[in-house]
Amino acid sequence: MASSHTQDLGVSLGTLKLHNPLIAASGCYGYGVEYSDVADRNDLGGFITKSISLEPWKGNDPPRLTEVSPGLLNSIGLANMGVQRFSDEIAPQIVGGKAKAIVSVACKVMEEYEEVVARLEDVEGLDGYELNISCPNVKEGGMAFCLNPSLTEELVGRVRKRSSRWITTKLTPNMTSISEGAKASAAGGADAVSLINTLVGMAVDWKSRRPKLSTITGGYSGPPVKPVALAKVWEVWNAVDIPIIGIGGISNWKDVVEFMIVGASAVQIGTALYADPDLPGKIVSDLEDFMRSEGMNLLSELTGSLNTDGGAMVGVPK
């Protein structure tokens, strides 16, 4: 029998249940197999693969990664092996564990999203899809589907018809109203929304006067984007009823708690995994300590618990 002192980190994202709220973010965890020697995948509630397209993509020319202080700027351009090789070689290795296996899908046109999902339907054991409609680093597709809510609704609706699996839509902060994107996703039949993808950013070498990325601009991620991401999650929490997965700059347990307080049911960890692939295991044990010290049994109680009654906090933050 469960004692009153157990810490339950489980969360529900509609039909998808995770044993903890930590999900590895797309593009920061390979295809789900690469980290096996350095970290236990089952420390995660789930993981999202690198975005998969219909045909293999070679991505943008180098340089396509540059560290900025602080944070990371990338223009990988969704380089990936394509759905066929992924289904044949990778997918069978990532299904069936404690961590839910979610495939990110990114394509140039709607028909390709439908086709990729249709082919992935043949792979047994996958737990769902994240529709990446928010990549700022590709010429075709990319953010275009997200910037226009009617295209978002149509795309999600078309994919929804191809699959009964769990679907989340990944939204961009690079739009005027992210809540319109979230509403469109819900209207199209998405089970959840994931936010945020990277912010458009740029880095320049003052001496040579050259851009530091081949594509000139790229996607900005890491700890500095957290306040932007928190604000977007809060905005979307107030706009839709489907679960929100918070993403952006998460690198410790307090970040997780803060995202849940403003409305996230689960979170994704991206850039921080590059520095420490074993981070999820550490965050889980820190979250358990936090729950113990707060006398909390259910972590999911945090979701949407922001206290706005008395206005903002006063005093020196710890």
Ligand X SMILES: Cc1cc2nc3c(=O)[nH]c(=O)nc-3n(C[C@H](O)[C@H](O)[C@H](O)COP(=O)(O)O)c2cc1C
Q: Under the criterion CB under 6 A, does residue 246 sit at the interface with ligand X?
A: no
Separation of alpha carbons 128 and 166, rounded Å = 5
Number of residues in contact with ligand X under rule CB under 6 A: 27
Taking the complex as a whole, the smallest distance from the CB of residue 215 to ligand X amounts, in Å, to 13
CB 174 → ligand X: shortest distance, Å? 12
Comparing every residue's Cβ against ligand X, the nearest one is 27
Binding of ligand X at residue 91 (CB under 6 A)? no
Which residue carries 């043949």 as its tokens? Answer: 122
Say whether residue 249 binds ligand X (CB under 6 A). yes
Q: How far is the CB of 243 from ligand X (least distance, A)?
A: 17
Position 103 contacts ligand X (CB under 6 A): no
Three-state SS letters, the chain = CCCCCCCECCEEECCEEECCCEEECCCCCCCCCCCCCCCCHHHCCEEECCCECCCCECCCCCCCEEECCCCEEECCCCCECCHHHHHHHHHHHHCCCCCEEEEEECCCCHHHHHHHHHHHCCCCCCCEEEEECCCCCCCCCCCHHHHCHHHHHHHHHHHHHHCCCEEEEECCCCCCCHHHHHHHHHHHCCCEEEECCCEEEECEECCCCEECCCCCEEEEECHHHHHHHHHHHHHHHCCCCCCEEEECCCCCHHHHHHHHHCCEEEEEECCHHHHCCCHHHHHHHHHHHHHHHHCCCEHHHHCCCCCCCCCCCCCCCC
Closest separation between CB of residue 144 and ligand X, Å?
14
Query: Using the rule CB under 6 A, is 94 a contact of ligand X?
Result: no
Q: Which stretch binds ligand X (CB under 6 A): 184-192, 204-212, 270-278, 297-305?
A: 270-278
Q: Which of 269, 287, 291, 302 binds ligand X (CB under 6 A)?
A: 269
Q: Does 132 bind ligand X (CB under 6 A)?
A: yes
Does 76 sit near ligand X (CB under 6 A)?
yes
Binding status of residue 74 toward ligand X by CB under 6 A: yes
Chosen residue from 18, 19, 20, 26 binding ligand X by CB under 6 A: 26
User: By CB under 6 A, is residue 250 in contact with ligand X?
Assistant: yes
CA trace torsion 51, 150, 111, 158 (10° rounding): 90
135 is known as an active-site residue: yes
Catalytic residue (choose from 28, 107, 135, 146): 135
Select 27 or 201, whichever has its Cβ closest to ligand X. Answer: 27
Using the rule CB under 6 A, is 46 a contact of ligand X? no
Q: Which residue has the tokens 């997200």?
A: 146
Q: Does residue 104 interact with ligand X by CB under 6 A?
A: yes
Q: From 1-9, 184-192, 207-215, 248-256, give the range in contact with ligand X by CB under 6 A.
A: 248-256
Q: Least Å distance between CB 33 and ligand X?
A: 16
Residue 170 engages ligand X in binding (rule: CB under 6 A): yes
CA angle in degrees (0–180, nearest 5) for 194-237-253? 65
Region of 3-11, 146-154, 243-251, 308-316 interacting with ligand X (CB under 6 A): 243-251
**Of 11, 18, 22, 25, which one interacts with ligand X (CB under 6 A)?**
25
**Torsion sign across C-alpha atoms 209, 212, 213, 217:** negative
Which residues have a catalytic role annotated? Answer: 135
Q: Which residues bind ligand X (CB under 6 A)?
A: 25-28, 50-51, 72, 74, 76, 78, 104, 132, 135, 170, 197-198, 221-222, 225, 247-250, 269-272
